[in-house]
Structure 1
Amino acid sequence: MQTQHESLAQAVTTRTLEVGILLFPGVEVLDFAGPFEVFSVASRVALRDGLLGHPAFRVTTIAAQPGAVAARHGLLVIPSATFAEHPALDLLIVPGGVVNQPLEDAATLDWIGENAGRAAVTASVCTGAFLLAKLGVLDGLTATTHWEDLDDLRASFPTLEVIGSVPFVDHGHLLTSAGISAGIGMSLHLVGRVLGLPAAQATARQMQYDWDGEAQA
């Protein structure tokens, strides 16, 4: 039986994979911008190096409504699409930040749950793990988040085995990463799963990011 990442590795040879990144009020800037950069640069590098004859990834930022979203520290970001209209996703990225609004917003939680069920891979960055945990997506699994929020995640969701001191945890179809910049390493890891480790290393080198394939839990 094919695993989901093997299916994506096969699918990318014939079509562009759709990566969707959630935006919400208070989202941490690097939580969404880091993965956006990784998948976008990986697509460019794969074309440049002749790995594929088409873009490997198309990245779409997605919010509940059209118009500017106020990210953390006041950065205004215009999403590319809304919950009502976006491509069918192969990879869903759920960033963190100040997650009070999405944790209490039924429309956002419903959207995450629906797309996590459809996407081949769902990955959280930082406190995005709280959103997946609230939906029960991580029940019975190991997970991680920002070091400052590990105890809160344990207390809020006692069915999880929460671990620290790792950049990310990979369960195949579900990944969680530690805080903020850890989302870059996790995204490079996903590029490696789909396009191969050399492509991920070439992407990191293009970004001048010190990475050659971190250990995972």
Structure 2
Amino acid sequence: MIPGGVTTAVETDTDVIDWPARRRQTSALTFSICTGAFLLAATGALDGRPATTHWEDQEELAQRWPDIQVRTDVRWVDDGDIVTSAGISASLHIVGRLFGWQLARRTALQMEYDWTGEHTAEAGI
């Protein structure tokens, strides 16, 4: 899991960028929350792939990494071994994918979040 936040200070730090690049080689799933997509982009992992990030940052992601197919119409993009998300609430998709949709719905209920439970990779919303 690659968290978001203000990532500009670490995007050029080779120690920081090398870590997700190395982990991705042995991980079945790499998941970014929000602007964590910028860190994945810096590794080259998103080149030629669809991805998303927080709505405020989608244009910047597309401008800085033109090889990424930035999706602006979804909360997450599940592209098999990489999932990028627009924000924290989209992490419910990962809970559902890894542990079942019933647990994802219970988690949303616990958070008092009105989640529709749409959980197909194609829906992404």
Q: Normalization by structure 2: what TM-score? A: 0.87
Q: Match for residue 99 of structure 1?
A: 7
Deviation beyond 3 Å, 4+ runs, structure 1: none
Q: Match for residue 139 of structure 1?
A: 47
Q: Tell whether 2:88 aligns with 1:183.
A: yes
Instruction: Read off the aligned partner of 1:98 and give its amino acid letter.
Output: V
CA RMSD of aligned residues (A): 1.5
Q: Tell whether 2:67 aligns with 1:162.
A: no
Which whole-Å CA distance do the structure 2 matches of 1:213 and 1:106 have between them?
A: 38
Which whole-Å CA distance do the structure 1 matches of 2:53 and 2:95 have between them?
A: 21
Larger radius of gyration: 1
Q: 2:59 aligns with which of 139, 144, 151?
A: 151
Residue 158 (structure 1) shift: 1.0
Residue 137 (structure 1) shift: 0.5
Superposed CA offset, 1:39-61 (max 9, x none): xxxxxxxxxxxxxxxxxxxxxxx
Q: 2:100 aligns with which of 177, 188, 196?
A: 196
Report the 3-state secondary structure (helix = DSSP H, G, I; strand = E; otherwise coil) of the residue aligned with 1:100.
coil
How do 1:103-114 and structure 2 match up within 5 A?
A: 103-114=11-22
Instruction: Read off the aligned partner of 2:49 and give its amino acid letter.
Output: L
Instruction: Read off the aligned partner of 2:116 and give its amino acid letter.
Output: D
Q: Normalization by structure 1: what TM-score? A: 0.52
